[in-house]
Structure formats: structure tokens, C-alpha cells
């Protein structure tokens, strides 16, 4: 064997070894790097999705708390149908603040056909000055209850009130929505 044949055979063996190294070591190494990087990207996407869902859950919790507080406030707008004592006390205290004499006639619970809310009707008879009566009505309208004032009848009394103002007698009914 001549030296040139030995060099050629050695070069062929080295080339074959280089090709085998590329095929069996480097190509699988690059494929595993590619699959690992795809897996890392997928994991990052999952992590960001979980993080955004966590933020949404926190936001939903705050919305839930706010809606529960709102529902509690809405429940306060309705009076207790069984014992409307708190509402009657409110009427009496408001009439005293407005310097009116007030009589509250017994209520009766009704629900009109087609109406989705139950309500009670209170019949009120008050006597006092007209400005005091207007102040009383304003306080009723701004009260923390759902009230609909109905059937107002106002008549002048013969006697004069304090300061020369004519006294009036007002009878009216109030529709108050109940729980």
C-alpha cells in the first residue's frame, strides 16, 4: 500500500466518522434543544395564562364583595313585612322632627296582579303647618326606603298654628315595598 492510498483511506474514514458524528450526535442534540425550547415556550404561556387567571380571580373577588355590599344596601330599601316596627319608628321620628302630629292607620299587605314586588300600604293622617308638612314629604322622599306616596288630601283647619300660619290636615297613603 502506497502512502497516497493510506492517506485516501484515512480521509475516507475521517469523513465517515464526521458524518456519523453529525448524524448520531449533533442532529439529535439540536432536535432535543428545539423540543426543549418549544416546551419552555409552552410552559411560559401556561404560566402567563395562570397568572392572568389569578388576576381575574382577584378582580372577581373584589367585584363579588362590591356586589354583596350593593345587595345589602338594596335589602335595606325594603321594610320587614312581618314587623315593620323600624319603618313605623322612622315615620314617628320624622314627624316629630318636622313638628307634625301624625296618626298611622293599620297597614295591609297587597300585591297587584302583574306586579312583581310585594308592598304594604300605610294610611297616614297628619296635622301641622303646610311648610312642616312639605318638609315631612321631602324627608319621606329622601328616606332609605322604597316609598311611593299616593292619594294626598290636604284641607285647611280653622285654627291658626304658631306664627300665624294656618294649620292643615293631610291624609295620604304610602306604598312601601317589603321584603
Q: pLDDT tens for residues 130-145?
A: 899 999 999 999 988 8
Helix, strand, coil percentages, rounded to 5, for the chain: 55, 25, 15
| HSE toward the beta carbon, residue 109, CA cutoff 13 A | 11
pLDDT given at position 113: 59
Does pTM top 0.75 for this prediction? no
What would the pLDDT profile of 29-87 be if each residue is shown by its tens digit?
A: 888 889 999 999 999 999 889 888 888 888 888 888 888 888 888 777 788 777 788 88
The predicted structure's pLDDT at residue 162: 59
Question: Across the chain, what does the average pLDDT equal?
Answer: 85
Write out the three cell numbers for 122: 300605610
Q: Which CATH number fits domain 85-177: 3.40.350.10, 2.160.10.10, 3.30.70.60, 3.40.190.10?
A: 3.30.70.60
Q: How far apart are CA 179 and CA 78, in angstroms?
A: 5
Q: Which among 90, 165, 163 has a CA at the least distance from the CA of 127?
A: 165
The closest of 160, 103, 166, 105 to 131, measured between CA atoms, is 166
Q: Hey, where are the domains in the chain?
A: 1-76, 85-177
| Closest alpha carbon to 102 in 160, 168, 157, 178 | 168
pLDDT reported for residue 105:
84
| pLDDT for the residue 171 | 93
Amino acid at each position: 500500500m502506497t502512502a497516497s492510498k493510506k492517506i485516501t483511506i484515512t480521509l475516507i474514514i475521517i469523513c465517515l466518522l464526521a458524518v456519523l458524528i453529525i448524524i448520531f450526535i449533533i442532529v439529535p442534540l439540536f432536535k432535543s434543544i428545539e423540543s426543549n425550547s418549544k416546551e419552555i415556550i409552552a410552559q411560559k404561556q401556561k404560566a402567563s395564562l395562570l397568572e392572568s387567571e389569578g388576576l381575574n380571580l382577584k378582580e372577581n373577588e373584589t367585584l363579588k364583595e362590591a356586589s354583596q355590599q350593593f345587595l345589602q344596601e338594596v335589602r335595606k330599601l325594603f321594610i320587614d313585612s312581618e314587623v315593620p316596627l323600624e319603618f313605623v319608628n322612622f315615620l314617628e321620628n320624622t314627624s316629630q322632627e318636622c313638628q307634625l302630629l301624625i296618626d298611622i292607620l293599620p297597614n295591609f299587605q297587597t300585591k297587584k296582579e302583574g306586579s312583581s314586588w310585594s308592598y304594604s300600604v300605610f294610611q297616614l293622617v297628619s296635622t301641622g303647618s303646610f311648610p312642616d308638612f312639605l318638609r315631612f314629604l321631602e324627608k319621606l322622599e329622601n328616606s332609605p326606603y322604597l316609598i311611593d306616596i299616593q292619594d294626598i288630601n290636604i284641607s285647611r283647619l280653622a285654627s291658626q298654628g304658631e306664627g300665624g300660619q294656618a294649620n292643615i290636615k293631610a291624609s295620604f297613603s304610602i306604598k312601601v315595598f317589603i321584603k
